[in-house]
A and B are shown apart, each in its own frame.
Chain A
Amino acid sequence: MSRRIFITGYGIITSIGNNADENYQSLINRKCGFGGLEILDTIHKQDLPACEIKLSDDQLCEIAGVSLKQGYTRTTLLGIIAAKEAMRMASLTPAEIRTAGLLSATTTGGIRELERHYYPLQDPFQHGDFEVFTDTANPGEHSERMAEEFGMKRYIATVSTACSSSANTIMLGARLIRNGELETAICGGTEALSKFTINGFNSLMILDKEHCRPFDISRKGLNLGEGGAYLVLQSEDMVQRSGKTPLAELTGYGNTNDAFHQTASSPDGAGAFLAMNMALNTASLVASEISYINTHGTATENNDLSEGLAIQKLFGDRVPPFSSTKPYTGHTLAAAGSIEAVFSILAIRHAVIFPNINFNIPMDELSITPEKELIEGRPLKNVLSNSFGFGGNVSSLLFSAV
């Protein structure tokens, strides 16, 4: 049960880069993906800017190496691109890929295509190009499509716990490896922007029309984003057998429910505290051993207060450096957990702490402030990555240097 879990590869595509290197360069150069929408067709292109990947679906097909017009949803394409990079980085053999599990997360799946072809899809007398999107609105569809693309069938699962989704795929991957069900698990999440999410979050009045400002007193809400990110998790045995050098270790994880409100976090961050604490416990670490926290930090009034108080409660007067990277990528919902897991590993590998863009004035309720500037040359041993979602779902992952 105490088998160690190593990360041997990762891949990522977001509005700040099509792969891990590009994302890293943007992170250290304060380059954010926020701006008007150009690809998604919505009346909110200008008034509700977001962090959009400026590539058409056809361009994404090309990067993903798949044929055009075959019914790959944008969510699936982002997933294929990121997962392929992760598998390449891990130098997985065809046999390893075949026997790996694919654990993927999304909150909307193919909703973007459903909303685009909503009426024709429901009219049996209409025929046309839209028919390739029959039944792609199902959230599990993207995982099956990705698995088929990679020739994987050993274990396929899809998680949807709102904005904590992909963190939970990483936990499931670890669990499947520790229970001896798998040696290799490709874990992560993918999410395309859609009118559905933009209008949904807008109706909840938690979108900021300006660039979001996590942990700042003037924060007014989140910016949405899109992207995909996957990690290759492998068992200790597998890593030893293949002679690979692991990139990081997944040492801890915690999943709890805040049980406070359908969409809001509890004011004191009870669930967040429990999840972070559980991550520490599974890793047998104490709070003072944490070197950096990549927070959920969506910049909603509610999240940052709740998360900030939970951090203060757990770490007392020794709160480690923390920052939110949401101003870079926007809130990518189901993909946020794995995107920020990749950022956490990048931080460990490059010994850096990424700045919390747009932070200026501390919140009255908190005594802690995020890192405003890039910190370089700071060896990081253990990094916590938080992901919280609607429905009270709260997850925390702990990555450690190897």
Chain B
Amino acid sequence: MENNTQTVEELIPQVKVGIIKQLNIEITPEALDENTALFGEGLGLDSIDALELIVMIDRDYGIKIGDPKEARKVFQSVRIMAEYIQENRKK
């Protein structure tokens, strides 16, 4: 439960590593800017990546997102994701 006290700044590098691993992206965590858009222009992720990330935040943080459309709002950038995780995490 001590993880729940992690700050957004502490979560950011962890989320970066998680995304890169889950989506098999060939970049270093440092090269992924926390404010870059993950979908569309930016990193260019698509709807299947969104599904992969939904599984990731459920598995790693206990957050369930039932609607892929809602997920796209959460997955706007690494920072927004980290903020959402910090607020909603169950583990």
Contact = CB atoms under 8 A, between A and B. Distances in A.
Tell whether any CB of A sits under 8 Å from a CB of B in the complex: yes
Contacts of B54: 205
Interface string B54-67: 11000000000010
Interface in B62-83: 66, 68
B31 interface: no
Q: Give chain B's interface residue range (CB within 8 Å of chain A).
A: under 10
A95 interface: no
Interface residues of A, number: 7
B51 interface: yes
Contacts of B55: 203
A43 interface: no
A263 B68 contact: no
- Which among A203, A205, A261, A263 has the highest number of chain B CB atoms within 10 Å? A205
Interface string A258-272: 000111100000000
A205 B48 contact: no
A264 B47 contact: yes
Contacts of A264: 47
A205 B47 CA distance: 11
Interface in B28-52: 47-48, 51
B51 A203 contact: yes
Contacts, number: 11
B75 to A, nearest CB: 14
Contacts of A205: 51, 54, 66, 68
B40 to A, nearest CB: 15
Nearest to B65: A205
Contacts of A261: 47
A263 B49 CA distance: 13
Interface of B is mostly: helix
A121 B68 CA distance: 37
Contacts of A262: 48
Contacts of B66: 205
A1 interface: no
A225 to B, nearest CB: 23
Interface in A113-132: none
A265 to B, nearest CB: 12
Contacts of A203: 51, 55
A217 to B, nearest CB: 15
Interface string A199-239: 00001110000000000000000000000000000000000
Nearest to B69: A301
Contacts of B51: 203-205
A204 B49 CA distance: 10
A205 B68 CA distance: 8
Contacts of B48: 262-263
A301 to B, nearest CB: 9
Interface in A237-273: 261-264
A35 to B, nearest CB: 22
Interface in B2-41: none
Nearest to B67: A205
A319 B53 CA distance: 41
A128 B48 CA distance: 40
B52 to A, nearest CB: 9
A261 B47 CA distance: 10
Nearest to A203: B51
A328 to B, nearest CB: 26
A71 to B, nearest CB: 35
B48 to A, nearest CB: 7
- Which among B47, B54, B68 has the highest number of chain A CB atoms within 10 Å? B47
Nearest to A264: B47
Contacts of B47: 261, 264
A72 B48 CA distance: 35
A258 to B, nearest CB: 15
A204 B54 CA distance: 10
A205 B66 CA distance: 8
Nearest to B68: A205
11 contacts: A203-B51, A203-B55, A204-B51, A205-B51, A205-B54, A205-B66, A205-B68, A261-B47, A262-B48, A263-B48, A264-B47
Given A205-B51, A262-B48, 4 more contacts: A203-B51, A205-B54, A261-B47, A264-B47
